[in-house]
């Protein structure tokens, strides 16, 4: 998997490349992360990439030409160009899984009041949003995608279970987990986790995963997609058992 990050602040990503999981994945040639400075494609002697929007309005807009050239400098037949934008569909785990199957992700980071819309209409494959809030730029959003996608690449994590049991991977929040000491401030680890009965532990974790999702993120539960077993567990949860 290759990530090409188009930005006017390439130094923003220096720390990402040194981050434990990402750094190890880069070292093992499982992923490649390159940053491309959009300013390098400006014809302006001061490397200016923004201008006033036609029709007036507040702020400045990133120009079409340097963005187009930066995209073309990295695009191949296997590239998927993504613009991080509030207009996009909300990022979730299912989207990360989908993106992890691509060969090359080109992540376009806007700034100021956004970018010339001709780029969006003609040179972007998809827009993605990380939430309904305002950021100074899209760099943080791009970092989220690089991190979230990278951990799904085979070999990046130590074992498949490392992500298959995490929150959102199977549609529910992750079950609660505990470690030593067994008792702290009179608070004890649930006995079932110390029982050695792996089947009962599996059932307990499934129940708690569904319970936490029901209590904290009920919007994630699609009752029509629940198995009969999950529907039975949910009924017990709703009845307070």
Dump pLDDT digits (tens) for 22-58.
999 999 999 999 999 999 999 999 999 999 999 998 8
Domain span including residue 226: 165-238
**CATH number for the domain harbouring residue 65:** 3.40.1280.10
- 112 with 172, same domain: the answer is no
| Mean pLDDT to the nearest integer, 176-182 | 95
pLDDT value at 168 more than 80: no
114 within 8 A of 12, measured Cβ to Cβ: no
Instruction: Using pLDDT thresholds of 50, 70 and 90, give the confidence band for residue 161.
Output: very low
Q: How many domains does the chain have?
A: 2
Per residue in 105-124, pLDDT tens?
999 999 988 999 999 999 99
**CATH number for the domain harbouring residue 229:** 1.10.1270.20
Structural domain includes residue 160:
no
Q: Report the C-alpha gap between 127 and 84 in whole angstroms.
A: 6
Structural domain includes residue 157:
no
- 191 with 142, same domain: the answer is no
pTM of the model: 0.87
30 within 8 A of 1, measured Cβ to Cβ: yes
């Amino acid at each position: 998997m290759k990530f090409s990050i188009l930005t006017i602040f390439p130094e923003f990503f220096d720390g990402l490349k040194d981050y434990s999981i990402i750094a190890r994945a880069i070292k093992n040639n499982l992923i490649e992360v390159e940053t491309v400075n959009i300013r390098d494609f400006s014809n302006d002697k001061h490397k200016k990439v923004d201008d006033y929007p036609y029709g007036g309005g507040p702020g400045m807009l990133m120009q079409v030409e340097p963005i187009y050239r930066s995209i073309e400098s990295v695009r191949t037949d296997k590239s998927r160009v993504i613009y991080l934008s509030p207009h996009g569909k909300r990022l979730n785990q299912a989207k990360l899984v989908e993106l992890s199957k691509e060969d090359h992700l080109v992540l376009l980071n806007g700034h100021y009041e956004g970018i010339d819309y001709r780029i969006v209409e003609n040179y972007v494959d998809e827009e993605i949003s990380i939430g309904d809030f305002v950021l100074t730029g899209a760099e943080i959003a791009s970092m989220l995608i690089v991190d979230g996608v990278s951990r799904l690449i085979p070999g990046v994590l130590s074992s498949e279970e490392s992500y298959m049991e995490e929150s959102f991977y199977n549609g529910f929040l992750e079950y609660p987990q505990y470690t030593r000491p067994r008792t702290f401030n009179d608070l004890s680890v649930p006995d079932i986790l110390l029982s050695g009965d792996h089947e009962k532990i599996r059932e307990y974790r499934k129940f708690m995963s569904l319970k936490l999702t029901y209590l904290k993120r009920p919007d994630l539960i699609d009752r029509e997609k629940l198995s009969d077993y999950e529907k039975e567990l949910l009924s017990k949860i709703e009845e307070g058992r």
